[in-house]
Structure 1
């Protein structure tokens, strides 16, 4: 570390595997990278008081290797995961994290990091995100765009977020709000086709508006409905609350109540 007061991290991985977690406090980042054809572009610079880390696995360079190599890569699904990104980030500085993933598998252990903003986008992916430790600062915005596949987010209550926006295309999704909760939070979940399982803490106040087609089922208990909203008994009686808007086209929404 030198003069940085915050970090901006931008990762692009068109295909492969990604692992992200908290690293040593005295290092901005540590990384291990495996690639099949062309090494990733890795750049770190300091602009003002912000450190900027860019990691880009360039598939254009791979395609320029020729048709024979391209067909070889496509001959096995395992070849899609030849690229591998293992990254550890410092817990000592606030982080803005941008992840742009294509055909990937991922394990993101984000607990203990100072996360200010997260932008996550995936194409065809199977990813697990876990906030296994509390975020020591406020996460202003957590935006997820999941294309096709499976995405599981655990201990989201530890993320200390103000606003969570989730857009899913086709897939199975788990969103678990276990953990510590801080004040009033806004949640938007919009899924085209798939299953969404929401794990909600009984101790939090819940207000939920559900907009679904007749091709979608909605499974919830321990709640009452008033006008267009569903409420639990804690709504308006606690400082921790989740104000939720859930939309889906075809599929199933289910709610599971959990103890803190």
Structure 2
């Protein structure tokens, strides 16, 4: 009888474990029709995990999320008025995200390529891959926490970039053809900042602060670093880097 009770107890506990796995995955998705939207202001905030942001030719904003804690389900808000949209995607505030080895918090967001967009990104710990190349981006404001963050703004119309780097590695691509002037301010953190700049558009970079600097692709002119095209093109790229305690590397690309 005692053995039967123990076996029954083990069977019940096994059923409970199957119904409530320690690392159960939750998913959610949403698609927003933006075909009548001319300008979009988007805010994306993830506390920890992986973030992937890309663009698509369809006039839609699509998002898909996978997470192991239901409390991490993103809060999505959208307000629209004629020709203008306001999109907010945020992870609920939590004092301690406490991601364990088997936890997942993966976000995959697609924005409309042809809509003039102002994007505000706040990324905590983890990995971010933001590919907005060839998109109609007006302004990017980004706060990067701890981890690796790759941002591709090549061949875009972006005219204003504000970036605060944290701990880890930030790779920012501003290369390609430009039809507008660009002003960028980058506050470096602890780690490395790798910046790719256009070769055929005039570039001038001001670097302040500590850390090491790799500028073989640019030459020093007064208190700035410039490329050969500086002062010879209709558009220009002006960048101020307030270096932290890491390494800053500047490279040129067509």
How many residues are matched?
219
Match of 1:153 in 2: 151
Residues in 2 aligned to 1:229 and 1:24: alpha-carbon distance in whole angstroms = 38
Residues in 2 aligned to 1:86 and 1:223: alpha-carbon distance in whole angstroms = 36
Change (3 A) 1:212 1:114: same
Structure ID, larger Rg: 2
Contact 2:44 2:122 in 1 (8 A): no
Which of 54, 78, 82 is equivalent to 2:102? Answer: 78
1:74 deviation in Å? 4.9
Change (3 A) 1:15 1:222: closer
Contact 1:205 1:240 in 2 (8 A): yes
Contact 1:160 1:180 in 2 (8 A): no
Residues in 1 aligned to 2:38 and 2:251: alpha-carbon distance in whole angstroms = 40
Three-state SS of the structure 1 residue aligned to 2:155 is: helix
Superposed counterparts of 1:18-97, under 5 Å: 18-23=51-56, 25=58, 28-35=60-67, 36-38=69-71, 39-47=73-81, 49-58=83-92, 74=98, 76-79=100-103, 81=104, 83-89=105-111, 91=112
Contact 1:141 1:161 in 2 (8 A): yes
Structure 1 residues 197-217: Cα deviation after superposition (integer angstroms, max 9, x where no partner): 11122212111111122xx11
Change (3 A) 1:50 1:78: same
Three-state SS of the structure 1 residue aligned to 2:149 is: strand
Residues in 2 aligned to 1:43 and 1:212: alpha-carbon distance in whole angstroms = 39
Match of 2:226 in 1: 231
Which of 202, 206, 217 is equivalent to 1:205? Answer: 202
1:251 deviation in Å? 1.6
Residues in 2 aligned to 1:223 and 1:18: alpha-carbon distance in whole angstroms = 32
In angstroms, what is the RMSD of aligned CA positions?
A: 3.0
Structure 1 residues 201-242: Cα deviation after superposition (integer angstroms, max 9, x where no partner): 2212111111122xx111112533333122222111012321
1:157 deviation in Å? 3.0
Three-state SS of the structure 2 residue aligned to 1:203 is: coil
Change (3 A) 1:42 1:201: closer
Three-state SS of the structure 1 residue aligned to 2:145 is: strand
Q: State TM-score, norm by structure 2.
A: 0.72
Three-state SS of the structure 1 residue aligned to 2:232 is: coil
Contact 1:23 1:30 in 2 (8 A): no
Change (3 A) 1:226 1:4: closer
Match of 2:46 in 1: 13
Three-state SS of the structure 2 residue aligned to 1:242 is: strand
User: Which range is displaced more, 1-10 or 190-199?
Assistant: 1-10
Residues in 2 aligned to 1:198 and 1:4: alpha-carbon distance in whole angstroms = 32
